[in-house]
Structure 1
Amino acid sequence: MLQAQALSVEVGGRLVVDQASFTVMPRDKVGIVGRNGAGKTSMFKVLGGAAEPSGGKVLRKGGFGYLPQDPKIDGSQEHRTAVQHVLSGRGIDAEVERIEKLRAAMEESPTDANVARYSRAEERFRLEGGYSADSEARSLAAGLGIGQDRIELPIGVLSGGERRRVELARILFAGSDVLCLDEPTNHLDVDAKTWLMGFLRQYRGALLVISHDLDLLDEAITRVLHLDRPTETATGHIVEYKGTYSQYVTARAEDERRLTKQAAEQEREIARMQKFVDRFGAKATKAAQAHSIEKRIARLEAEKVDAPKNTKQITVRFPDPPPCGETVIEASELCKGYGGPPVFEDVAFDLGRGERLLVLGLNGAGKTSLLRILAGETEADLGHFEFGYQVQPGYYAQEHDNLDVHRSLLDNIRNEVPPGVSLTETELRGLLGMFGLSGEKVFQDAGTLSGGEKTKLALAMLMVGRNNLLLLDEPTNNLDPPSREAVADALKGWPGAIIFVSHDTEFVTELAPTKVLLMPDGDVDYFNDEWLELVSLA
């Protein structure tokens, strides 16, 4: 069970959730919904114990599993294999290590005491299901798309998407009584999403989930907590709805129509009574009546409902790229490994001005590694690449590695302004505002943002770089549907060259790639709609 009592949450010194109370019981499947920036992830951090509330408290009963939007695995654990990390969800990895030490001691010195110690530990491990747990952990990982060839690898050599899957598998394997999952389907292919939805449907504990995956929300939840986005003058608050996401959408629309009508009626009544007070308040014969009406106005003001604000549709426009040569990039014989067999080798391709190259491949095929090489974030083991005449690349990192979480949004975007280019604070704030990042938020540290807001900040930072080649690694992850559509629409008509990784079929269709690079083999082909099936699997 999880219970929030008068919970208040602050972000960057600003209250985004005020006095929220709700209870999640076993078998409850609850979706937390709201626009990017509403405070969902910040509230989840408090519910998950990763941050302290500014008021109220959170009560948890039983085992608790929390998947943050950007889970970080401790650097000291990166040498552990993926399966060891999953097993650590129940502490079984420590038991395995203890038994192995007892075995080594017994083999080195086979005394009766050493044999007895090993036998007792091994028998207890067997009776407690330790050996079957290894099989269960591998099965969970396989369901989430971590194959047998990857689960024995150290975590440090896995891709960002694979590490997130491993962390999700560890949390599910732990068998918690309460799960808080923030965007659990990020980096999951179609098969893994299907498996996860089946798992969550059968899960007997309490579930809270944040997701922009509408299929997951419709299939896995039975209750919705809607978090209103805070404004400059009001904090967010929670409204509860029973049923699936689709049922919530219908009920929410009806509530908004009712509240809008009620707020308008209240405003008209207040204006009518205020007109009487203004006209007759100074007359002795009407003074008592005017005073009585003023009291009624005060009561109406106190009871006044807030009309739902119109959903602000963001409109994004990337600046026209500066001129460059006909050939944007040429790469040949690129190879990359991480201490073991190469992730990919002999990758070669070229791209012309205005062309779009879609990089495809299953998790672990080296898509992110390739983009990091092209962005200059790391080096290839072999091979080389060369940009064309006056080509200026801009890189969007899937894990938002280029954000300085300890600096404000305004400082982050200012840091991307090229030498010789002058942009005023007003112009920089205009670029942030294009993505809905406005007001006092621009002075917050980037580390206080939700995943969707970090994505918007990183995309806004691309706009000041005067780029004619964009390297985009899953740029629509964490974005709500209206924001995804706005970004896709902006890039669709942008005349520069793009090399991108995406599992979002709608986004890929909008960008209309001209070529496909299939990793890790390095095969290059012209794009057609038949490739879309692989996009959803990648």
Structure 2
Amino acid sequence: MGPYILKTDSVHLEFGGRKILQDIFIDCRQGEVVGLLGRNGCGKSSLLRIMFGSLKPSYQHISINDIPILKGYHNGRIAYLPQHSYLPQNIKLKKLAEPVVDPQFRDDFNNHPIYQKYHNQNAGQLSGGELRQLETLMCIYSRADFILLDEPFTHVSPVQTEMFKDIIRKCAKVKGIIVTDHQYYNILDVADRIILITNGATRPIKNPDDLIAHGYLSHIR
């Protein structure tokens, strides 16, 4: 059995009569990081939620190894890091993490300084930044075959960003990871390939200059 491949095709999503997504194809296989870029409001978060199963568009076709799936989270195949906090506030982090973390990465997770520091506390006792780090760690290190990360670098320091990129690279040896962020240079750094959403459609990006050609960037920093 080769690596699993997650495919998302023919997504149609409208809000209030306005077409958000209409010509979408994105795939990701275990062993790679796919970067998803696009301007604010283009539908990046909506697409990740559709793939996870928490948003239902008017049409979608999502499959793993060509077997259709309706909600990836129902059988634990897909994990999703939203932009907002998602952990229950009044349960110890240790209790939340134990059933979620992939056994092959358990030592890495348990030995991470922020987990060691807070594992006996409730999520509600942490600051927003500390909680964001822990939620990101739990998502990347989860048992899921595919990890969807929505803005993991936006509210963390440059040092933490580099740490998360290292973890993403390590976990992507056995998982498929799709990651989006406004900090496009971090996406270009960590991703094996790039998909751009523009005018409701996905466009594969062969080199960074394509981002200028499609009007996403005026220059590469």
Q: Shared topology, TM-score over 0.5?
A: yes
Q: Which residue of 2 aligns with 1:416?
A: 100
2:73 is aligned with 1:394: no
Gaps of 5+ in 1: 1-323
TM-score (norm 1): 0.34
Q: Which residue of 2 aligns with 1:381?
A: 58
**C-alpha deviations, 1:364-385, integer Å up to 9, x for none?**
1111010011111222221221
Q: Which residue of 1 aligns with 2:25?
A: 348
Q: Which residue of 1 aligns with 2:120?
A: 443
2:12–2:21 contact (8 Å) kept in structure 1: yes
TM-score (norm 2): 0.77
Distance 1:422 1:350 in 2: 25
2:147 to 463, 466, 470: 470
Distance 1:478 1:383 in 2: 31
Q: Which residue of 2 aligns with 1:497?
A: 176
1:334–1:384 contact (8 Å) kept in structure 2: yes
Distance 2:49 2:190 in 1: 21
Distance 2:13 2:49 in 1: 11
Quick check: 385-394 or 467-476, which moved more? Answer: 385-394
Q: 1:482 and 1:531, CA in 2 relative to 1: closer, same or farther beyond 3 A?
A: farther
2:194 is aligned with 1:511: no
**C-alpha deviations, 1:508-535, integer Å up to 9, x for none?**
1321331313244323213412256637
2:114–2:134 contact (8 Å) kept in structure 1: no
Amino acid at match of 2:38: G
2:42 is aligned with 1:365: yes
Q: Which has the higher contact order (CA 8 A, sep 6+)?
A: 2
Distance 1:411 1:327 in 2: 29
Distance 1:503 1:536 in 2: 15
Number of residue pairs aligned between Structure 1 and Structure 2: 206
Amino acid at match of 2:165: A
Write 1 or 2 for the structure with the bigger share of strand. 2
Alpha-carbon offset, residue 463 of structure 1: 4.9
Q: Which residue of 1 aligns with 2:209?
A: 530
**C-alpha deviations, 1:410-460, integer Å up to 9, x for none?**
122124257xx699xxx57x6254152324x32222123223212221122
Distance 2:130 2:15 in 1: 32
Distance 2:113 2:54 in 1: 26
CA RMSD of aligned residues (A): 3.1
1:413–1:464 contact (8 Å) kept in structure 2: no
Distance 1:332 1:535 in 2: 26
Decide which structure has the larger Cα Rg and report it. 1
Amino acid at match of 1:394: A
Q: Secondary structure at the match of 2:84?
A: coil
Q: Secondary structure at the match of 1:443?
A: coil
Write 1 or 2 for the structure with the bigger share of helix. 1
Q: 1:436 and 1:422, CA in 2 relative to 1: closer, same or farther beyond 3 A?
A: closer
Alpha-carbon offset, residue 351 of structure 1: 3.0
